[in-house]
Amino acid sequence: MMRQVSIIGAGVLGVSIAFWLSDLTDSEVTILDRESEPAKHSTSRNTGVVHRPFFLPPEAKATVESWIKSYDLWRELAMKKGLKFEVNGQLEVAKNDAEISVLRKHQEWARLNGMRDDEIAYLEGNDLRRLLPESLAEGALMSVNEANVNYGELVEELFREISGSVKFVGGFKAESVSERGGKVVVGGLLGGSRYEIESDLVINAAGNGSLSIYRRMKGTGEPGEIHVKARYWRLEGSCSLPRINVFTVPKYEKFPFLDPHYIVRVDGTFDLGPTVSLSYDGFDYDSGSMEVIMRLILHSSLGDLKGYLSLLKSGMLSLLLRDGLRMFSSEHMRRFFSWVMPWIKRCELVAKPPGIMHYLLNEQGIDQQVRIEEVGQTLHVLNYDAPGATGAPYFSYYIVRLLLDRGYLSPGKGLRYELWRTLPGS
């Protein structure tokens, strides 16, 4: 039976879910977004790496699977739409024996996670210096298949692909989700006026906005959440820059993206970052630190305050503060990274627009799992961070299969698109 499905959020996750819904199920799909066009937030504000899972522990099965299975789907989309998918590879560099043993562990994880032996190699310091002259690193893992892309452009193309069969309501800021007469009603603001959209099923894929929609529907201030603003810096000037992504062995293994890293961009530029600061919400890119702190004190929910307390107890905040200025100041970040690429001291750093990450908080501090919460006829995808843009094509397929398997939706009459045929057939 044909069902009406509304998706809140036209980022990489929402648009990929819409693709699979209209391809595999008998449903009429509408995407709602607060912006007038898709992919205006994290999807276009990230570093554009299609990751390989060598630094993920094999226990993170869902993320590993979605990274492995999505890789070829991104490549296929880029090829078909004439967009760049540059296989530049990635180095993870170590400066001492303790860090080299982490590299050895990551090499083993790569194997356990299904990467081929010829995708990853250990380089001794001298071999590494052919790629990074003057580097003080003692060894590195080289993963050859990391790709650099522009996720924003890829998602815009995916959106164009489905635009004939999926409806888009832009400029609609969803504020509430409730149930009435067997239907789910999304209420919100459209052009300054209140507006309601009725459907049989709602999928909340609103990224940085998803938790507040969930909390309002449940009538709770929990769980707590923290928003971290991450800024990257474009490297300019007369300094030669290699065409391979470079990460250091992460100081905090569970947060491999906090340590400064170097990224090749497909527009021909090179980035170093991130420097981080707190953000009041998922869309506040501009406020200064004092304003953010005041707003956090005045407006945080009880769940947020409990979460901040468990962050303090977990020691995470003090660890970050102890790490000091390299997390917060671009100059100190550059100095920190210069043992890896000494010539980077000669580059100029130009600030880029930041992105915002959101993390749910639990008793242990930061919750690292994606959470799929069913509330009546609404599926909320919360804490969607780890599979990230890399894993979205497969993770969204997994969600649509889940809806089919549970009988919320029925299968469509036939596959609609030429794209991404390898998954439904497999």
Residues of the shown chain interacting with ligand FAD in the complex, contacts defined by CB under 6 A? 8-14, 32-35, 40-43, 45-49, 51, 172-174, 205-209, 213, 230, 355-357, 384-385, 388-390
The alpha carbon torsion through 193, 197, 202, 203 (nearest 10 deg) reads -40
Torsion of CA 74, 269, 259, 281, to 10 degrees: -70
Taking the least distance from each CB to ligand FAD, the nearer of 266 and 305 is 266
How would you write 344-372 as a 3-class SS string? HHHCEEEECCCEEEEEEEECCEECCCCEE
Local structure of 248: helix, strand or coil: strand
Between the CA of residue 381 and those of 113, 204, 347, what are the distances in Å?
A: 25, 6, 40
CB of 37 to ligand FAD, least distance (A): 9
Query: Closest distance between ligand FAD and the C-beta of residue 86, in Å?
Result: 13
Nearer to ligand FAD, 166 or 389 (CB): 389
Structure tokens at 378: 């609404």
What span, in angstroms and rounded, lies between the C-alpha atoms of 385 and 213?
17
Q: Where are the alpha helices (DSSP H) in 300-343?
A: 302-314, 316-323, 325-328, 330-337
Nearer to ligand FAD, 135 or 208 (CB): 208
Pick 100 or 384: Cβ nearer ligand FAD:
384
Which lies closer to ligand FAD via its Cβ, residue 36 or residue 101?
Answer: 36
Shortest reach from residue 207's CB to ligand FAD, in Å:
3
According to DSSP, the β-strands at 378-382 and 201-204 are: parallel
- Tokens for 119? 């995708």
* CA distances in angstroms from 309 to 218, 221, 305, 385, 416, listed in the order given: 23, 15, 6, 22, 49
107's tokens: 């090499």
Q: Report the nearest approach of ligand FAD to the CB of residue 21 (Å).
A: 15
Nearer to ligand FAD, 44 or 135 (CB): 44
The distance of closest approach from Cβ of residue 341 to ligand FAD in the complex, given in angstroms and rounded to an integer, is 19
In whole angstroms, the minimum distance from the beta carbon of 389 to ligand FAD comes to 4
Between residues 39 and 100, which has the closer beta carbon with respect to ligand FAD?
39
Minimum distance, C-beta of residue 130 to ligand FAD, in the bound complex (Å): 26
User: Minimum CB separation from ligand FAD for residue 19, in Å?
Assistant: 13
CB-wise, 382 or 403, nearer to ligand FAD? 382
Give the rounded distance of the alpha carbon of 38 from its chain centre.
16
Rounded to a whole number of angstroms, the minimum distance from the CB of residue 229 to ligand FAD is: 8
**3-state SS assignment for residue 240:** coil
Cβ-based burial of 27 (10 A; exposed 0-12, middle 13-18, buried ≥19): buried
β-strand pairing of 120-124 with 49-50:
unpaired
Closer CB to ligand FAD, residue 13 or residue 77?
Answer: 13
